[in-house]
A and B are shown apart, each in its own frame.
Chain A
Amino acid sequence: MLGYIIRRILAVIPVMAIVAIFVFLLLRLTPGDPAAIIAGDSATPAQLDRIRESLGLSEPLHVQLVTWIGQLFRGDLGTSIISNQPVTRLIGQRIWPTLQIGTLTIILSVLIAVPLGVLAAWRHRTWVDYAVMTFSVLGFSIPVFVIGYIFIKIFAIDLRWLPVQGYSAPSENLQAFFLRAILPCLTLATIYVALIARMTRASMLEVLGEDYVRTARAKGVKERIVLFRHALRNAAVPIMTIIGTGFALLISGVVVTESVFNIPGIGRLTVDAILARDYPVIQAMILLTSAIYVFVNLLIDISYTFFDPRIRY
């Protein structure tokens, strides 16, 4: 089992290396002068020089790559063109709201989605199943920001139950934090719940057709135990996988949701960077979110050993 875990950890290295090289090449291989692309059409030659200088664009490509990798190892993600601050500092200031909302959303989503999926599979081809599936396909089909605005319209503007926008740090006022976190979390959770519920249902349906489920029924085991002890645990690996790959959706959801609800997290940071053409920040966000994605999926890979004793080679 230790061997498996170590191999999973080692497998992260080439993936992150390729991501880093890819991000590096993204700017350099784009047709045209990268400095001009970043600076925009109205840039003066002096501005262009300053950008070339700060990104080291006048060096040969391989020198740039070595410099870039070296910077990454030192934890240097570059400097914002607009605010002239190190990107790591910008991210450090903005990451907490995002982590709080994100974690809350994941917990909420799994707690809602897995039981829904199990229920739909158990009551296959009944109204319960159709209702869950309808919700799930709806969740995929409406853009996140539209969902956000619908929630705001209903719960904040019309019913006045919750604040429209904004963020409070939990350390200052826990109640205000939760009140303001409810709508963003629900908005973010919609697509994630749809995804996980759908996979849970499919995976459960598959497992419920297996021989060992028939064996359990032939033993006279109660249906509840058949569902949760026998079926769900065997269905867990694909569900965990989708929680991991769906994490990418969550990241793009965060970027959008933070704009809609005016939350000062790294999603907003990204949107501001797009509008200001602050490429170093965009680039750093790609690296950071990819690293988070890879890390989350590494944890999930390792969690498989807990669900399935066969994964111990």
Chain B
Amino acid sequence: MAGQPQPTSAMQVVLGAIQLPASFRLGVGPIIAAVVLVLIVLATATAYLYVPHDPMNMNALQRLKGPSETFWLGTDPYGRDLFSRVMIGGQVSLLIGIGAAIVSVFIGLVIGLVSGFFRTADAIIMRIMDALMAIPSILLAIALVALNGPSIWSVIFAITIPEIPRVVRLVRSVVLSAREEPYVEAAIALGSSMSKILWQHLMPNTLAPIIVQGTYICASAILTEAILSFLGAGVSTEIPTWGNIMAEGRMFFQIKPELIFWPGLMLSLCILSINLLGDTARDMLDPRLKKREA
């Protein structure tokens, strides 16, 4: 279409000027979230240094005990120390969350860039992604774990596959809108190669949104791990994870709800912090939101 003039109105310029100095003020929420998250990560990562008991050590005489000086949070149905199990269990849960986030973001980024940039590949890739999106993620993950066995890597793989299409769609949409930018057209006119345009002009646009997306995936992966374990399709029950601890507590929920409460609290605090930080990052990076706030 012919270039219809679009003079920036006085209003836009005025509002643009206001927005810069007052860019973004961090509330208390994100700061608390960051502190909580750092504490949880440090506490679980160093858990072997300070936990009072071996989390695997069963003791038939100490089954389902209440909190005491020896067992700070009491014991589970096999007489294992709940506190030690919750702290150690966080390691695997966090590992799965971070692992799933990194793998799905990386694979999704590559497929998304290809899909957004090459029209021929796009049609096929997007149909496959549509189909993957149509399969409820939890059922797909269940099937994958059922087939590949209950190892940690198998669970990460099972959580990653359903997340990939979401990353692909995000990256693709960013690439599609960025390639319409005049600076990209100018680069074409300047004789820049396709790979240069893809990596140096288009790819940087996707980084901010996929980092945000990565935090959400991390949170949802930790949640999915718990649900998979709860359904009996998670990491092998010998390994303590927040999900496994809660799954084992199910049968005893009416007599000892702490078995679900404590791991559930740790897990929820952790996911809550990650989600809050993700929201903060998104708000800071979303130009539309900035415009509105001005």
Interface residues of A (CB under 8 A from B): 14-16, 18-19, 22-23, 26-27, 30, 34, 37, 137-138, 140-146, 149, 152-153, 157, 205-206, 209, 245, 248, 251-252, 255-256, 259, 270-271, 274-275, 277, 279, 282-283, 285-286, 289-290, 293-294, 297
Known A-B contacts A26-B144, A205-B292; the reply to A138 vs B272 at CB < 8 A is yes
**Which residues of the other chain, B, contact A34 by a CB distance below 8 angstroms?**
147
Q: Produce 1/0 per residue, B198-239, CB < 8 A to A.
A: 000000000000000000000100010011001111000000
B231 touches A289 (CB 8 A): no
Cβ of B103 within 8 Å of any chain A Cβ, yes or no, is no
The 3 closest A-B pairs by CB, nearest first: A252-B138, A18-B131, A141-B272
Interface residues of B (CB under 8 A from A): 127-128, 130-140, 142-144, 146-148, 219, 223, 226-227, 230-233, 246, 253-254, 257, 260, 264, 267-268, 271-272, 275-276, 279, 288-289, 291-292
Given contacts A270-B139, A274-B146, 10 further A-B contacts (CB under 8 A): A141-B275, A142-B264, A146-B267, A149-B257, A245-B133, A248-B136, A248-B137, A252-B227, A289-B139, A290-B136
**Which residues of the other chain, A, contact B267 by a CB distance below 8 angstroms?**
143, 146
Q: Which one of A18, A205, A286, A297 contacts B143 once the chains associate, using CB atoms below 8 Å?
A: A286
Bound-complex Cα distance A289 to B162 (A): 14
A271 touches B232 (CB 8 A): yes
Known A-B contacts A14-B127, A146-B260; the reply to A271 vs B231 at CB < 8 A is yes
Majority secondary structure of chain A interface residues (helix, strand, loop or mixed): helix
**Which residues of the other chain, B, contact A146 by a CB distance below 8 angstroms?**
246, 260, 264, 267-268
**Which residues of the other chain, B, contact A209 by a CB distance below 8 angstroms?**
291-292
Bound-complex Cα distance A22 to B135 (A): 10
Bound-complex Cα distance A290 to B147 (A): 19
Known A-B contacts A286-B135, A290-B134; the reply to A279 vs B146 at CB < 8 A is yes
Q: Which partner residue on chain A sits nearest B260 by CB separation? A: A149
Q: How many A-B contacts are there with CB distance less than 8 Å?
A: 133
A157 touches B127 (CB 8 A): no
Bound-complex Cα distance A285 to B144 (A): 14
Q: Distance in Å from the Cβ of A126 to the closest Cβ of chain B?
A: 14
Bound-complex Cα distance A285 to B130 (A): 18
A-B contact pairs, 20 of them (CB 8 A): A18-B127, A19-B135, A23-B135, A23-B143, A34-B147, A137-B276, A141-B223, A141-B268, A142-B264, A142-B268, A142-B271, A143-B267, A143-B268, A149-B253, A205-B292, A252-B227, A255-B138, A274-B231, A290-B135, A290-B136
A256 touches B227 (CB 8 A): yes
A259 touches B131 (CB 8 A): no
**Which residues of the other chain, A, contact B260 by a CB distance below 8 angstroms?**
145-146, 149
Q: Which one of B147, B226, B232 contacts A27 once the chains associate, using CB atoms below 8 Å?
A: B147
Q: Which one of B137, B142, B148 contacts A274 once the chains associate, using CB atoms below 8 Å?
A: B142
